[in-house]
Amino acid sequence: MANVPRDLKYTREHEWAKQEGDRVRVGITAYAQEQLGDVVFVELPKVGAKVTAAKTFGVVESVKAVSDLFAPISGEVVEVNGELGQKPEIVNQDPYGKGWMLVVKPSGKGEWDQLLTAQQYEELIAQGGH
Amino acid sequence: MASRYIANTPDEQKRMLGAIGSGSIEDLLVKIPPKARLARPLGLTPALAETDLIRHMTALAARNAHADSHVSFLGAGSYDHYIPSPINHLILRGEFFTAYTPYQPEASQGTLRSIYEYQTMIAELTGMDVANASIYDGASSLAEAALMAHSVTDRREIVLSRAVHPLYKRVTATYCEGPGVRLRDVPAPEGVTDLAAARQVVNATTAALVVQTPNFYGCLEDVAAAAEIAHAAGALLVVVADPVNLGVLEGPGKLGADIVVGEGQGLGVPLDFGGPNLGVFAAKNELVRRMPGRLVGATVDHDGKRGFVLTLQTREQHIRRAKATSNICTNVALCALMATIYLATLGRRGLVKVGELSTAKAHYAASRLTKVPGVSLRFTAPFFKEFALKLPKAPERVLPRLARQGFLAGVPLKTFDRALADCLLVAVTEKRTKAEIDAFAAALEKAVA
Amino acid sequence: MADAYDKLIFELSSPGRVGWSLPEADVPEADVHKLLPAKHLRRDAPDLPEVSEFDVVRHYSRLSRMNYGVDTHFYPLGSCTMKYNPKLNEDVARLAGFAKVHPLAPEASAQGALQLMHELAWDLAEIAGMDAVSLQPAAGAQGELAGVLMIRAYHHSRGEKRTKVLVPDSAHGTNPASTAIAGYEVVEVKSLPNGEVDVDALARTLDTDVAAFMITVPNTLGMFEPRIIEITELCHAKGVQVYMDGANLNAILGITRPGDLGFDVCHFNLHKTFTTPHGGGGPGAGPVGVKAHLEPFLPVPVVTKDGDEYALDWKRPRSIGKLQAFWGNFGMLVRAYTYIRTMGPDGLRSVSDNAILNANYIMKRLERDYDVAVPGPCMHECVLSARRQKRLGVTATDIAKRLLDLGFYAPSTYFPLIVEEALMIEPTETEAKETLDAFCDAMIQIAREAETNAAVIHDAPVTTPVRRLDQTKAAREPNLKWTRRG
Ligand SMILES: Cc1ncc(COP(=O)(O)O)c(C=O)c1O
């Protein structure tokens, strides 16, 4: 069973979100990277871009699959993990740590509470992830 | 009657049906509703034996004028260049000829290696970072470039010089119809793109400016100036170029092109009445993930040995489906192999020689033909191997007579541009001789008199 | 023993070697620097190899030996119809009166070429039950684009702005891709577990916003769609055009015709059904056939016949335009024409009969050792699932690689997407029973190995010029051209 840290929130599309003061850090889950296999490419927005909850903000690719990335919350991108451009494999190696993707300054209210808890997300992946 | 392309004998069919547990082939068709069945044989010509068929095909072929039966000055995107003999022998090796797209790379290293060589050669000639494994032809390559520029810049307008091949423009318009990408023109009244006009037309809605060099009229364009205009507006510069000329002419990438497309037929591919051709497509590195078509990359195998695979496939239809960068699947790999063998054979010095001879003979032809009274060059801009010739008599009255005398004199420009109804587009490759050109000039002189 | 050859042409280069023969200039001025302004000229000669003609011949001969082709190996790649490519077609296509004809030669001087095109279009129309055929599309995908654009032009001509095209989840990737380029929103429709169209679901999805329904017949599971006539009628009742992907036409020659089934458009893959060689990935040819109501929208020009004279008709104001610069992949058209004349109507019918027989024979022989995606009888190809083997740790890819070691090219894998661990096997009519038996023996051997000796499968291939390749490295660090070391 893939690792699902307790202190994070999740989307149904397998992104995680972590509250850091007034910012939210975003990445994909261990389960997601396992399903994809070796990540070969990550396409992320630029700093300053706006993202919208439940809308795509980028893509992550393995050799034979492409997966859209969905924003857990709406807001402005304030940091992007530039290292993934050169070393996409970090997403596989450390999805919750060095493999983070964005830091967002949230603009919406109430979106945070609609995200899945660790327990809800575990149930989702236990059913096959859909 | 038994067919030589089907192995099963009636006895074998019976044994196979027995193994399947069916009484007849008809029993295998149970899922087809009876009312869907064709109740009669197809209304086609009955089968011909090999000898009879050869007679029929030879008779059909005999009704066509061709580059061996006539002295040809036809060009406009399809050229009678020298084709070294080994190309045909090598492409006919069944392992190349009858293979599919290299989906199982371990059993397709021959194809993959040759494509990798092809990509290297095309990148070198065009002066670009990366080339793909091929698009259908020059025109559809341009169409793909237009769509790619649209997706890269998120802008909806493509500005094309009127000196770009009109049929390429037609194909681009067809591809741009669905996505709602608009085409705008820049005039080229003197045979080259009016760059001052281009500067007016290219703006913040322009995805790409497209120029061709040598252009449809054979004239050379100022690519560097076009690049500056495109880039100043944040647009891409797409250059249409014929790679067989690039032994002599500068690679458009060196002059600022972001995407180079073109027709590679001149690189050892037969005329074939216009197809199959070879769509060349090359781009800058930063655009590689938006490129259409297949790409071959080098990697290593399980033992660390060098090997080649199709790569960056997530761009393609079989993975990204409706969001793919292009719908292309089957391309023209065998024509790319012809081009690879051609460029290997011609090599560093041969390709230069082809360009030099074509230029020299074209310029000789231009000076010789304009000595015919009433005949002149339509444009004064520098040209490469092709030029527009103004005749004192309507080309359609001159051409049939010249054809009877063994000359395919050129392409009448009337169908492409009414303003050029009195012009003939004349192409001269390295295959033409001074004697042929002199004879053509003499015949033309009589025909227009 | 695998051939250990590991050269690229650039690595054979030796400065000064030549492989070409061109005459010296016979005109007075041959110096390009005097003829052309310097700013257009290349500063250095291009960095191309310098090799002898024999270097070229040996290099590419050796490269060819690193490939499997239909001529050398059974090539059961489903959906691709890897049948024998007749040698006669090649002789004919190389007649100077075909191969050396310029596309803009005066029509009066190209009557043989135009006649061939006119007759081929007519033959294809008869084979598919269509009213008109354009030979211009360069491959199946371009035929699809042309077909969908014609449907779009048709709706527009009637003042209808439909925005969606329905495509089953079992469809080939080009179907949604072509549809998207044609400007439509692609709506994926779920197939029934047996791969057939869910007719009730389809009926609910069809509305005035749907421009077309695009399906493959037989479908990509190798099965004939039993309710196809009902489906096309249902679509027409809602003003929806029906497109048939004709990639699987090899199954139905002389048996049934897309036009008679109610299809408005269908494309042909001449490189599948009509024996033009695949060439390592093309060229192909993808003519597109239409019913009369779509005829005004065909790509220009159309080859016409008036008395005994053939011509190119450009005056077609409602045409969707052009798809390639000239008239189509004529070289491929010559081969397909030669093939159709070789086979005649009875021969073509027996092509499909034997393609179906061969596929069913394979399915029968393998049904105990592999799961079949859908119970037979099948049409010209059968789809197996390696899900049983997957539980033992052996995937469809593993089976494909092991087949290479046993002397066969692999079936298509992971297509259609709706079948888990899909192995799509299309033997074609040109293969003999003993080849099919040898292939089935190999497949059964692999099924046994999966149970007892999976290592030999996971190690495969070991007889090919290279072993399994690192696809991840290739995608992470793209190396797309050769560069000189040092
Ligand atoms: C079912 C199906 N549809 C469409 C295509 C696309 O045809 P092409 O490769 O000629 O563009 C293929 C072939 O690969 C196919 O198998």
C373 alpha carbon – ligand 1 mean position (Å): 21
Tokens for C440? 């089935």
pLDDT at residue B344 is higher than 70: yes
Chain C residues close to A41, C-beta within 8 Å: 475-476
B316 alpha carbon – ligand 1 mean position (Å): 13
State which of B317, B342, B367 marks the end of a domain: B342
Report yes or no on A14 lying in a domain.
yes
CB contact under 8 A, C8 and B62: no
State which amino acid sits at residue C84: Y
B346 alpha carbon – ligand 1 mean position (Å): 35
Report yes or no on B172 lying in a domain.
yes
- Distance between alpha carbon B74 and the CA centroid of its chain, in Å? 15
Note whether C300 and C162 are same-domain residues: yes
- What is the four-CA torsion angle of B42, B44, B45, B46, rounded to 10 degrees? -20
Report yes or no on A117 lying in a domain.
yes
B327 alpha carbon – ligand 1 mean position (Å): 10
Please give the pLDDT value at position B101. 95
Residues 400-429, chain C: which have Cβ within 8 Å of A? 414
What's the total number of domains in chain A? 1
CB contact under 8 A, C472 and A41: no
Residue of chain B whose Cα is closest to the Cα of A60? B314
Which ranges constitute the DSSP H helices of C68-139? 87-93, 96-99, 111-128
Please give the pLDDT value at position B17. 98
For chain C, give percent helix, strand, coil, nearest 5.
40, 15, 45
Residue of chain C whose Cα is closest to the Cα of B435? C26
C431 alpha carbon – ligand 1 mean position (Å): 22
Report yes or no on B145 lying in a domain.
yes
d(CA B442, CA B449): 11
SS3 A45: coil
Note whether C234 and C375 are same-domain residues: no
B418–C contact, CB cutoff 8 A: no
Note whether C56 and C110 are same-domain residues: no
Report yes or no on C481 lying in a domain.
no
- Of the candidates B289, B319, B323, which has its C-beta nearest A64's C-beta? B319
Note whether B382 and B281 are same-domain residues: no
Note whether B77 and B132 are same-domain residues: no
pLDDT tens sequence across B221-233? 999 999 999 999 9
pLDDT tens sequence across C110-150? 999 999 999 999 999 999 999 999 999 999 999 999 999 99
Note whether B353 and B335 are same-domain residues: no
Report yes or no on C417 lying in a domain.
yes
Note whether C333 and C372 are same-domain residues: no
SS3 B58: helix
CB atoms within 10 A of CB C257: 23
Q: What confidence tier does C459 reach under pLDDT thresholds 50, 70, 90?
A: very high
State the pairing for strand pair B407-408/B71-72.
parallel
Note whether C161 and C21 are same-domain residues: no
C171 alpha carbon – ligand 1 mean position (Å): 10
Chain B residues close to C134, C-beta within 8 Å: none
Residue of chain C whose Cα is closest to the Cα of B355? C32
> CA separation (Å) from B392 to A44, B18, B218, B373?
63, 78, 21, 8
Shortest Cα–Cα distance, B256 to chain C (Å): 13
Ligand 1: residue of C148, C174, C426 to mutate (most ligand atoms within 8 A of CB) is: C174
State which of C318, C342, C366 marks the end of a domain: C342
d(CA B394, CA B422): 6
Residue of chain B whose Cα is closest to the Cα of C263? B36
CB atoms within 10 A of CB B200: 11
Phi-psi region of A87 (alpha: psi -120 to 50; beta: other; left: phi over 0): beta
Note whether B398 and B325 are same-domain residues: no
Specify the DSSP class assigned to residue B35. G
CB contact under 8 A, B5 and C181: no
What's the total number of domains in chain C? 3
d(CA B304, CA C454): 23
Pick the closest to residue B196 from B220, B237, B157, B161 (CA basis).
B161
Please give the pLDDT value at position A109. 81
Residue of chain B whose Cα is closest to the Cα of A43? B289
d(CA B449, CA B237): 45
CB contact under 8 A, B350 and C84: no
- Distance between alpha carbon A116 and the CA centroid of its chain, in Å? 13
CB contact under 8 A, B319 and A41: no
| Mean of per-residue pLDDT scores for chain B | 97
Report yes or no on A130 lying in a domain.
no
Q: What confidence tier does B419 reach under pLDDT thresholds 50, 70, 90?
A: very high
Report yes or no on A67 lying in a domain.
yes
State which of B325, B342, B359 marks the end of a domain: B342
Sign of CA dihedral C286, C291, C295, C297: negative
Which of A46, A61, A69 would best serve as a mutation to test chain B binding (most B beta carbons within 10 A)?
A: A61
Report yes or no on A65 lying in a domain.
yes
For C144-213, the three-class secondary structure string (H helix, E strand, C coil) is HHHHHHHHHHHHHHCCCCCCEEEEECCCCCHHHHHHHHCCCEEEEECECCCCCECHHHHHHHCCCCEEEE
CA nearest ligand 1 atom 9, residue: B330
pLDDT at residue C32 is higher than 60: yes
In B241-378 the beta strands, taken as DSSP E runs, fall at 259-263, 279-283, 296-300, 306-310, 376-377
Are the CB atoms for B153 and B207 separated by under 8 Å?
yes
Note whether C369 and C467 are same-domain residues: yes
Note whether C238 and C272 are same-domain residues: yes
Residue A30 belongs to domain spanning? 9-125
In C314-377 the beta strands, taken as DSSP E runs, fall at 371-372
CB atoms within 10 A of CB C3: 13
Report yes or no on B13 lying in a domain.
no
Report yes or no on B28 lying in a domain.
no
Residue C53 belongs to domain spanning? 9-64
Half-sphere exposure of C440 (CA within 13 A, CB side): 22
Q: In the beta sheet, which residues pair with residue B236? A: B208
Note whether C227 and C96 are same-domain residues: yes
Residues touching ligand 1 (Cβ under 6 Å) are B 329-330; C 79, 139-141, 172, 174, 216, 220, 245, 247, 269, 284, 286
Note whether C107 and C231 are same-domain residues: yes
What's the total number of domains in chain B? 2
| Mean of per-residue pLDDT scores for chain C | 97
Report yes or no on B299 lying in a domain.
yes
d(CA B382, CA B220): 6
Tokens for B90? 């090598």
Report yes or no on A68 lying in a domain.
yes
pLDDT tens sequence across C313-354? 999 999 999 999 999 999 999 999 999 999 999 999 999 999
Report yes or no on C412 lying in a domain.
yes
Tokens for C51? 């090799």
- Of the candidates C61, C183, C400, which has its C-beta nearest B180's C-beta? C183
Is ipTM > 0.95 here? yes
State which of B294, B314, B342 marks the end of a domain: B342
Pick the closest to residue C40 from B132, B81, B239, B236 (CA basis).
B239
d(CA B354, CA B360): 10
Are the CB atoms for C310 and C121 separated by under 8 Å?
no
Q: In the beta sheet, which residues pair with residue B183? A: B158
- Of the candidates C63, C182, C482, which has its C-beta nearest B110's C-beta? C63
Report yes or no on C1 lying in a domain.
no
Specify the DSSP class assigned to residue B316. S
Report yes or no on C77 lying in a domain.
no
What DSSP element (H or E) covers C379? none
Q: First vs last Cα of chain C: how many Å apart?
A: 33
Task: Supply the DSSP string of C280-324, one letter for each residue.
Answer: TT------EEE-GGGGGGSPSPEEEEETTEEEEE---TT----SS
C33–B contact, CB cutoff 8 A: no
Report yes or no on A18 lying in a domain.
yes
Instruction: Tell me the residues of A at the C interface, defined by beta carbons under 8 Å apart.
Output: 38, 40-41, 61-64, 88-89
Note whether B76 and B102 are same-domain residues: no
Note whether B407 and B308 are same-domain residues: no
Chain B residues close to A41, C-beta within 8 Å: 289, 314
SS3 B185: strand
State which amino acid sits at residue C13: S
CATH of the domain at A64: 2.40.50.100
pLDDT at residue B30 is higher than 50: yes
Q: What is the arithmetic mean of pLDDT over B338-364?
A: 98
Q: What confidence tier does B1 reach under pLDDT thresholds 50, 70, 90?
A: low
> Which ligand 1 atom is the nearest neighbour of the CA of C79?
16
Q: What is the arithmetic mean of pLDDT over C255-267?
A: 98
Note whether B387 and B334 are same-domain residues: no
pLDDT at residue C486 is higher than 60: no
pLDDT tens sequence across A7-43? 999 999 999 999 999 999 999 999 999 999 999 999 9
CA nearest ligand 1 atom 12, residue: C247
Please give the pLDDT value at position B231. 98
Q: Count H helices, E strands: chain C?
A: 16, 13
Report yes or no on C482 lying in a domain.
no
Q: First vs last Cα of chain B: how many Å apart?
A: 61
Please give the pLDDT value at position C145. 98
Percent of chain C with pLDDT over 70: 99
d(CA C365, CA C440): 7
CB atoms within 10 A of CB C422: 23
Please give the pLDDT value at position A1. 61
Tokens for C399? 């089976």
CATH of the domain at C300: 3.40.640.10
Note whether B79 and B177 are same-domain residues: no
Q: What confidence tier does A130 reach under pLDDT thresholds 50, 70, 90?
A: low
Please give the pLDDT value at position C2. 52
Tokens for B70? 């006539």
Note whether B170 and B76 are same-domain residues: no
Pick the closest to residue C429 from C337, C345, C350 (CA basis).
C350
d(CA C453, CA B305): 26
SS3 B39: coil
Tokens for B46? 């009955």
pLDDT tens sequence across A55-69? 999 999 998 889 999
Tokens for C55? 């270097």
Q: First vs last Cα of chain A: how many Å apart?
A: 16
* Helix pair angle (C111-128, B50-61), 10° resolution: 130
Residue of chain B whose Cα is closest to the Cα of A59? B314
State the pairing for strand pair C164-168/C210-216.
parallel
Note whether C141 and C266 are same-domain residues: yes
Q: What confidence tier does C3 reach under pLDDT thresholds 50, 70, 90?
A: low
State which amino acid sits at residue C296: P
Residue B380 belongs to domain spanning? 71-83+347-448
Shortest Cα–Cα distance, B289 to chain C (Å): 11
Which of A63, A83, A86, A90 would best serve as a mutation to test chain C binding (most C beta carbons within 10 A)?
A: A63
CA angle B417, B176, A68 (to 5 degrees): 160
Report yes or no on A1 lying in a domain.
no
CATH of the domain at B127: 3.40.640.10
Q: What confidence tier does C1 reach under pLDDT thresholds 50, 70, 90?
A: very low
Residues 6+ apart with CB under 8 A from A43: A58, A59, A60, A61, B289
Note whether B217 and B105 are same-domain residues: yes
Ligand 1: residue of B310, B328, B329 to mutate (most ligand atoms within 8 A of CB) is: B329
Pick the closest to residue C364 from B23, B6, B9, B16 (CA basis).
B16
Tokens for B192? 């080259």
Q: Count H helices, E strands: chain A?
A: 5, 9
Which ranges constitute the DSSP H helices of B180-331? 195-201, 223-232, 317-320
Chain C residues close to B92, C-beta within 8 Å: 90
Pick the closest to residue B163 from B217, B243, B225, B240 (CA basis).
B217
Pick the closest to residue C206 from C186, C236, C181, C172 (CA basis).
C236
C166–B contact, CB cutoff 8 A: no
pLDDT tens sequence across B353-405? 999 999 999 999 999 999 999 999 999 999 999 999 999 999 999 999 999 99
CATH of the domain at B439: 3.90.1150.10
Tokens for C210? 């749907």
Please give the pLDDT value at position A129. 66
* Helix pair angle (C330-366, C111-128), 10° resolution: 30
Q: What is the arithmetic mean of pLDDT over C423-445?
A: 98
d(CA A35, CA A60): 12
Omega cis (within 30) before C377 = yes
Report yes or no on C141 lying in a domain.
yes
Note whether B179 and B315 are same-domain residues: yes
Are the CB atoms for B317 and B327 separated by under 8 Å?
yes
Q: What is the arithmetic mean of pLDDT over B96-104?
A: 97
Report yes or no on C217 lying in a domain.
yes
Half-sphere exposure of C236 (CA within 13 A, CB side): 12
